Copies of this chain bind each other. A is one copy, B any other.
Amino acid sequence: MSQFWSDIVHELTPYVPGEQPKVKNLIKLNTNENPYGPSPQVLAAITAQATDELRLYPDPNSERLRHAIAEFHGLTANQVFVGNGSDEVLAHVFLALLKHSRPLLFPDITYSFYPVYCGLYGIEYDALPLDRHFEINIHDYDRPNGGIIFPNPNAPTGIPIELTRIEALLQKNRHSVVVIDEAYVDFGTESAVRLINDYPNLLVTQTFSKARSLAGLRVGYALGQQDLIEALVRVKDSFNSYPIDKLAEAGAVAAMQDVDYFEKIREKVIATRESLVRQMEAMGFVVLPSGGNFIFAKHAKIDGGTLAERLREQYIIVRHFKKPERITPFVRITIGTEAQTAQLLSALATMMPF
């Protein structure tokens, strides 16, 4: 408590990101980063940009980057909004498009930053329970609302939702914005981007942090019709004129353009995931169906927290969520390289039987 703090500061419950350990030599499977580095073209583009030109402000509108993203997705640049990571993009989305008199709807088990944004901006929300298979039931969302948001695939479950169901939701919610947070979409989930030109109420967010291996660069974006993008631009230009620095723009443009590399590494991650799931199921784990670069798994004989601790003793870090209670049996495991996955499996084997 401080006399100097604005009232809102006293009420905030900030988001807690996964650990970024300072120790080296850990197998880091806790924050869903890509196990493979970015395209060599990205590193070359960044190095080429490390010049005296850094004395100048970047392009406040990130035209080059917005064009590169638009081209990849078959959209126009004025259907693209970019920000300092998809977390910043989402923050602007909550303030610009999801603050209405009716409550915002999202799943009770989902990206835990959503209720934090609501707290920051004073947005009322209803968190709707996932069904007993940890799936989103879109009929639950058939009620008056000021907006709907969920990740596809969902986090931390990894379960994807079919595009036909998203389209049904868009049709039933003509007067509120439906945001599909596609941070993990490139690992085998069908994207809603192709619905954008048909639905003025659809906004899709994506990131360079996952399939494009650039979590360290902080670039995310939103795609939607121009009316929605304009709202985001107005908020951004009332907050920070230049969110994308020159190096981030150069790197992100190169990442977007090197489609071959992108295809290659996402396919590798998907193949490793499928192999890991088969082997963990053979060990008696229950693994939720995953459309992301991570799996959500539990074993009847061991609690999720205990499993995470025992893996850490073997220098492997995975993520365990202490709430809500329904997910405490699970651990979330990021898909690593084939070698890291082999080490994870041997570590699990040494613990067997639990």
Interface residues of A (CB under 8 A from B): 2-9, 12-17, 20, 28, 31, 33-38, 42-43, 46-47, 50-60, 84-85, 87-88, 91, 95-100, 116-117, 119-120, 175-177, 200-201, 209, 213-218, 227-228, 230-231, 233-235, 237-248, 251
In the complex, 12 of the A-B residue pairs with CB atoms within 8 angstroms, ordered by the A residue number, are A4-B200, A5-B96, A6-B97, A17-B242, A50-B50, A56-B215, A84-B88, A84-B243, A85-B240, A85-B243, A216-B246, A216-B247
The answer to whether residues A58 and B218 also contact, given A6-B95, A9-B96, A231-B5 and a CB cut-off of 8 A, is yes
The answer to whether residues A55 and B216 also contact, given A231-B6, A247-B247, A248-B245 and a CB cut-off of 8 A, is yes
Those 3 A-B pairs whose CB atoms lie nearest each other, nearest first: A37-B52, A14-B237, A216-B246
**Contact: A3 with B175, CB < 8 Å?**
yes
Q: Which residue from chain B places its CB closest to the CB of A31 in the assembled complex? A: B57
Q: Which residue from chain B places its CB closest to the CB of A214 in the assembled complex? A: B54
Copies in the complex: 2
**Contact: A7 with B245, CB < 8 Å?**
no
Q: What CA separation (Å) do A38 and B12 show in the bound complex? A: 38
**Contact: B6 with A216, CB < 8 Å?**
no
Q: What CA separation (Å) do A242 and B214 show in the bound complex? A: 13
**Contact: B241 with A57, CB < 8 Å?**
no
The answer to whether residues A88 and B12 also contact, given A20-B56, A50-B47, A58-B218 and a CB cut-off of 8 A, is no
**Contact: B247 with A85, CB < 8 Å?**
no
Q: Quote the shortest CB–CB distance from A161 to chain B (angstroms).
A: 22
Q: What CA separation (Å) do A10 and B6 show in the bound complex? A: 24
Q: Quote the shortest CB–CB distance from A53 to chain B (angstroms).
A: 6
Chain A interface mostly: loop
**Contact: A99 with B7, CB < 8 Å?**
yes
**Contact: A57 with B97, CB < 8 Å?**
no
- In this complex, the member of A200, A216, A242 whose beta carbon has the largest number of chain B beta carbons within 10 angstroms is A216
**Contact: A239 with B120, CB < 8 Å?**
yes
Q: Quote the shortest CB–CB distance from A187 to chain B (angstroms).
A: 15
**Contact: B239 with A91, CB < 8 Å?**
yes
Q: What CA separation (Å) do A245 and B5 show in the bound complex? A: 27
Residues of B within 8 A of A230 (CB): 2
Instruction: Add 10 more A-B contacts to A9-B97, A84-B84, A119-B238 (CB < 8 A).
Output: A2-B231, A4-B231, A47-B47, A84-B88, A84-B245, A85-B243, A87-B240, A117-B239, A120-B235, A216-B245
- In this complex, the member of A2, A16, A87, A175 whose beta carbon has the largest number of chain B beta carbons within 10 angstroms is A2
Residues of B within 8 A of A120 (CB): 235, 238-239
Out of B33, B35, B51, name the residue touching A43 (CB < 8 Å). Answer: B51
Residues of B within 8 A of A96 (CB): 5-6, 8-9
**Contact: B251 with A54, CB < 8 Å?**
yes
Q: What CA separation (Å) do A189 and B85 show in the bound complex? A: 35
Q: Quote the shortest CB–CB distance from A276 to chain B (angstroms).
A: 19
Q: What CA separation (Å) do A238 and B87 show in the bound complex? A: 10
**Contact: A5 with B218, CB < 8 Å?**
no
Q: What CA separation (Å) do A218 and B201 show in the bound complex? A: 33
Q: Which residue from chain B places its CB closest to the CB of A146 in the assembled complex? A: B6
The answer to whether residues A56 and B216 also contact, given A227-B2, A231-B5, A247-B248 and a CB cut-off of 8 A, is yes
**Contact: A54 with B38, CB < 8 Å?**
yes
